[in-house]
Amino acid sequence: MIVVVKDSATKDQLASFTAWIEGRGFKTNLSQGDNETIVGIIGDTTQIDPFLLESMDIVERVQRVSEPFKKANRKFHPEDTVVDCGHGVLLGGGHFQVMAGPCSVEGANLIQIARAVHASGATILRGGAYKPRTSPYSYQGMGEKGLDLLLEASAELDMPVVTEVMDPRDVQLFVDKKIDIMQIGARNAQNFSLLKEVGKTQTPVLLKRGLAESVDELLMAAEYIMSEGNANVILCERGIRTFETRTRNTFDVNAIPVLHQLTHLPVIGDPSHATGYTRYVRPIAYAATAAGADGLEIEVHNKPSEAWSDGAQALTPDQFSDAMKRIGLIRAAVTAEVE
Ligand code: PEP
Ligand code: MN
């Protein structure tokens, strides 16, 4: 249930109103935007009489929210969330950012790739140090040493890093090392203990859509993080499993505007895992940008044929540079004021 509060309400009135609600055993979520102040009421709101609320002086109107996701719901928080990714990089609410780098951190080539993507306009460096591989016999990542290489590159280039955390027991290490953004990968998209653990931090979380996860399930996964107190969630459409076998996954471009309607959280697109082949990555990056994504995550490798993982979908630095120029043009076209 949401309560829209009148502009004339004072801070004291608002505080006693939320105390009154909380005194009845509910949680509240306050959203103070430029145009409206909204109090979200979380709990079994069938126990609340909306007419009683509407009769209160400070209440403008009351609306029931039927969706099970509350904190992620745009009705609770009409304005876009802007996530502060560190190093002065904001994402969401009109701030478009591109995350780029290798699938896996492999060693000394990381800094080379990082310099190249940074020079082309990428604002966030990606790279996996802990890799969720379908086979236990595939390369599993460099672990902590990989995090350190990312942090060295981050310091040199003054750019935030995003890297995947797979195990709740590693979350504290990521926090201690001041990793800017923790990625939850598609294979862990509904690992609720991991979601709750990252929810207890204030580190931004890049939450990828699960392999066969509906939009509503993705939003409930975000709700797990937010219900623990971390509101810094970025959603990522990275393709879903369908009957199509010509591509690694099927990029659900619909999900971008659908998510923007349902949630205030930023939404980015990952054309690399969505397609699985270098030749399709650029067209799908453009489609995601045109559909209103708040950013992209793209895999780039200096020698894709020698990459330790996902070489088949990596762009070379030159291909990435070309893509960035076109992404800029598309972004300008979709955000331009037209008569
Ligand atoms: C990745 O980003 O390297 C990755 C494993 O992605 P996903 O979880 O989307 O498959
Ligand atoms: Mn990958």
> What is the residue-wise DSSP string for 263-298?
BSS-EEE-HHHHH-SHHHHHHHHHHHHHTT-SEEEE
pLDDT score of 194: 98
Residue with CA nearest ligand 1 atom 3:
103
pLDDT score of 126: 98
| Closest ligand, as measured to the CA of 126 | 1
Query: Which tokens sit at 6?
Result: 């009148």
pLDDT score of 47: 86
Mutate to test the pocket of ligand 1, among 142, 164, 297, 301 (most ligand atoms within 8 A of CB): 164
- Residue 236 Cα: closest atom of ligand 1: 9
- Residue 239 Cα: closest atom of ligand 1: 9
Q: Can you tell me the distance from the alpha carbon of 102 to that of 110, in angstroms, rounded to the nearest whole number?
A: 7
Query: Which tokens sit at 177?
Result: 């090392």
Task: Please state the pTM of the whole predicted model.
Answer: 0.94
- Residue 189 Cα: closest atom of ligand 1: 8
Per-residue pLDDT in tens (0 to 9) along the chain, 339 residues: 999 999 999 999 999 999 999 999 999 999 988 888 999 999 889 889 999 999 999 999 999 988 999 999 999 999 999 999 999 999 999 999 999 999 999 999 999 999 999 999 999 999 999 998 889 999 899 999 999 999 999 999 999 999 999 999 999 999 999 999 999 999 999 999 999 999 999 999 999 999 999 999 999 999 999 999 999 999 999 999 999 999 999 999 999 999 999 999 999 999 999 999 999 999 999 999 999 999 999 999 999 999 999 999 999 999 999 999 999 999 999 999 998
Residue with CA nearest ligand 1 atom 8:
185
Query: Which tokens sit at 209?
Result: 């859509």
- Residue pair 130/184 in contact (Cβ under 8 Å)? The answer is no
pLDDT score of 89: 98
β-pairing verdict for 233-237 and 90-91: unpaired
- Residue 209 Cα: closest atom of ligand 1: 9
Q: Can you tell me the distance from the alpha carbon of 295 to that of 298, in angstroms, rounded to the nearest whole number?
A: 10
Q: If you average pLDDT over every residue of the chain, what do you get?
A: 97
Mutate to test the pocket of ligand 1, among 140, 161, 190, 270 (most ligand atoms within 8 A of CB): 270
| Closest ligand, as measured to the CA of 238 | 1
pLDDT score of 34: 83
Half-sphere exposure of 196 (CA within 13 A, CB side): 3
- Residue pair 65/1 in contact (Cβ under 8 Å)? The answer is yes
Residues at CB less than 6 angstroms from ligand 1: 103, 128, 132, 185-187, 208, 238, 270, 273
CA 21, 22, 26, 29 dihedral sign is positive
Mutate to test the pocket of ligand 1, among 238, 297, 300 (most ligand atoms within 8 A of CB): 238
pLDDT score of 66: 87
- Residue 81 DSSP code: P
**Ligand 1 mean position to 256 CA, how many Å?**
18
**Ligand 1 mean position to 271 CA, how many Å?**
11
